[in-house]
Amino acid sequence: MHRKEIAILLKDRRLHPFLEKFFRSRKTYHPSFFFNPSLFLDHVRGSNPSAIIISGASLKHTGKVIRHYPSIALISGDSRKGIREAIGYQVTCYILGPYLDLDLAHKLASVISESEMLEKMECRKKELEAVVDLTQLISETLDSKKLLFQIVKKIAEIVPVIRCSIIKVDCRHKTIFVVATHEDPMFRGMKLSLRKYPEILEALNSKKYVVVQDVSTDPIMDTVRDVITPIGIRSILVVPIFYHSKVIGTLFLRTSRTQQSFSEHEINLLNSMARASANSLYSAFLFEQVEDEKTRLEKLSITDYLTGINNIRYFYHRIIQEFSRSQRYSSSFSCLMLDIDRFKDINDIYGHKVGDQVLREFATSLKKHSRNSDVLARYGGEEFILLLPETSPQGAVAEAERIRMHIQDQHFKSLRDGRTITVSIGISSYPHPGIKTHDDLISYADTALYAAKNSGRNRVSFHVR
């Protein structure tokens, strides 16, 4: 049985026998006697006793500390003066001598009970404030990441835990994803193995909350006890978050602590918060899915279906921007038109399927050997186009030669007989007297490519007219 500690400061040692006898017959209390005010204050600050008993003559040595604890002043001598001092130091109550056991027992039980009740009320107040804050946030945001963090943050504020996380479970691949933790609002997720978390698996199967009050004895933890025990975790609570009888996205709230077990009140509170969050989380996840799908479709609209690089639509969007910027700041930029030499022979000899594979490998190689600032796109068929911002004619020629040599030396996996391919490249650069629009730049690069083809292929040609 947990004994409540009572810190006692006496200046008049004559009170000691009375108090010692009083506590000897009451096993629910553990008295700590002090006759030195400094030692008493150090002890109170460190041990946080359930109550304080202090002789009236010692009140002046306690300062403001006494007002923060349930306290009883034992007043002797001038009762009027003693009561005035007790009120001035804000003691909870006082007893006038001669002291009676029944009076002290009643007063001690009353101040402790009142303090515990106030503490519970303050705790409930914080819980209600947290629920109100969470409800307000739920009504204001569709940002699931922000919402997930606020849920675990609020829970960690009102329930003392070392970790509070929200888990998403992928049953098909037997993996779990930590999608939020109260320790870090910028947390971006962590993938873990489901088999290492039997308590989550149990909650998933039962669709009910799972509480492990003692990791060292609960049979649920048999397979991972040797791993969990050294960490110092004693209790774990897993609460599924439902939307209409379904575990939405198989999300779980998992909290853990090292000291006491979870109380029934805490379990009910967390269940309530999970229920309060469910509808909004579901809406947030739907919104996120729509946004992801929108992003995916936007990416598809500017991506070449075969090679995975940019399509010509995106390229035109970027070249218009770059042309306008270069005109404004009188800066140079270049355009490369690339064509795989004798690509028709590859299709005729190996088939169109192998031809498509060659195009994919070729595009991947170009992307790998382009700068981050360059804009690469498939122009059509076996033709590709590369925009080089802030690049002079000399720089463009050097870049084109580097690409041409790399393609010439590359082994293409789809051509199993070791056949190599080459590329012809045409270059145009702005500013140029004949280039007035972005279409002129592309047309000049195409003319230069035609010249490279006519002069023997596997070479670079620059439009100089």
Q: Could you tell me if 329 and 386 are in contact, meaning their C-beta atoms sit under 8 angstroms apart?
A: no
Burial group, residue 136, by CB count within 10 angstroms (0-12, 13-18, 19+): exposed
Please state, as a whole number, how many other Cβ atoms lie within 10 Å of the Cβ of residue 15: 19
Closest CA to 69 of 44, 46, 87, 43: 44
Strand-by-strand arrangement of the 460-462 sheet: 375-380, 383-389, 333-340, 423-430, 460-462
| Lowest-pLDDT choice from 79-88, 182-191, 438-447 | 182-191
- What pLDDT score was predicted for residue 183? 76
Q: Given this model, what pLDDT does residue 292 score?
A: 67
pLDDT tens digit sequence for 155-173: 787 777 777 888 877 766 5
Q: Which of 87-101, 210-224, 255-269, 429-443 has the lowest mean pLDDT?
A: 255-269
Binned at pLDDT 50, 70 and 90, residue 178 comes out as confident
**Percent of the chain predicted with pLDDT > 90:** 38
Residue with tokens 């003392």: 160
Q: How do beta strands 29-34 and 4-9 pair?
A: parallel
Q: Report which residue type is found at 32.
A: S
CA atoms within 13 A on the CB side of 85: 23
298-313 tens-digit pLDDT? 777 788 989 989 999 9
Average pLDDT of the residues in 324-332: 91
What lies within 8 Å, CB to CB, of 330 at 6+ separation is 431
Specify which of 83-92, 259-268, 349-358 reaches the highest per-range mean pLDDT: 349-358
Task: Give the per-residue pLDDT at 165.
Answer: 83
| Share in percent of the chain as helix, strand, coil (round to 5) | 50, 20, 25
Q: Does 431 sit behind a cis peptide bond, omega within 30 degrees of 0 on the bond before it?
A: yes
Find the range with the poorest average confidence among 14-28, 31-45, 56-70, 316-330: 56-70
Is residue 334 within 8 A of residue 370, CB to CB? The reply is: no
| Residue 254: how many other CB atoms lie within 10 Å | 23
The mean pLDDT value for 196-206 works out to: 86
Is residue 254 within 8 Å of 236, Cβ to Cβ?
yes
Alpha helices per DSSP H over 54-100 = 79-88
**Which residues, at least 6 apart from 389, have a Cβ–Cβ distance to it below 8 Å?**
322, 333, 373, 374, 375
Does the pLDDT at position 248 exceed 70?
Answer: no
According to the model, what pLDDT value does residue 398 have? 94
| CB of 42 closer than 8 Å to CB of 36 | no
Do residues 278 and 242 make contact, with C-beta atoms less than 8 angstroms apart? yes
Q: Which residues pair with 303 in a beta bridge?
A: 310
Mean pLDDT of the 190-211 span: 85
Residue-wise pLDDT for 445-464, tens only, equals: 999 999 999 999 999 999 86
Helices (H), 330-351: 343-350
pLDDT of residue 256: 65
285 pLDDT higher than 90: no
The token duo for 52 is 């304080």
Lowest mean pLDDT of 264-273, 329-338, 401-410, 418-427, name the range.
264-273
pLDDT at 249: 45
For 61-116, how does the pLDDT look when each residue is reduced to its tens digit (9 = 90+)? Answer: 887 788 888 999 898 888 888 888 888 888 889 999 888 989 999 999 999 998 88
Reported as a pLDDT band with limits 50, 70 and 90, residue 251 is: very low
From the list 322, 303, 310, the residue with the least C-alpha distance to 428 is 322
Predicted confidence (pLDDT) per residue in 205-244, tens digit:
888 888 888 888 899 999 988 888 888 788 888 888 776 6
SS3 345: helix
**pLDDT band at residue 387 under the 50/70/90 scheme:** very high
Q: Are the beta carbons of 55 and 9 closer than 8 angstroms?
A: yes
User: Any idea what DSSP says for residue 431?
Assistant: S
Q: What is the per-residue pLDDT for 250?
A: 43
How much is the mean pLDDT over the chain? 84
C-alpha dist (Å) from residue 75 to 6, 58, 97, 418, 455: 18, 10, 6, 104, 114
**Domains contained in the chain, CATH given:** 4-114 (3.40.50.2300), 141-290 (3.30.450.40), 312-462 (3.30.70.270)
Q: How far apart are CA 144 and CA 148, in angstroms?
A: 6
Could you give the 3-state DSSP secondary structure of residue 181?
Answer: strand
Longest dimension (CA), the chain: 121
The pTM score is: 0.47
Structure-model confidence comparison of residues 11 and 459, the more confident one: 459
Grade residue 443 by pLDDT with cuts at 50, 70 and 90: very high
Beta strands in 121-195 (DSSP E): 163-170, 175-181, 190-193
| pLDDT digits 0-9 by tens, 113-145 | 988 888 887 777 776 676 667 666 666 666 667
Band of the pLDDT at 337, cuts 50, 70, 90?
very high
Three-class SS state of 434: coil
Q: Are strands 246-257 and 423-430 parallel, antiparallel or unpaired?
A: unpaired
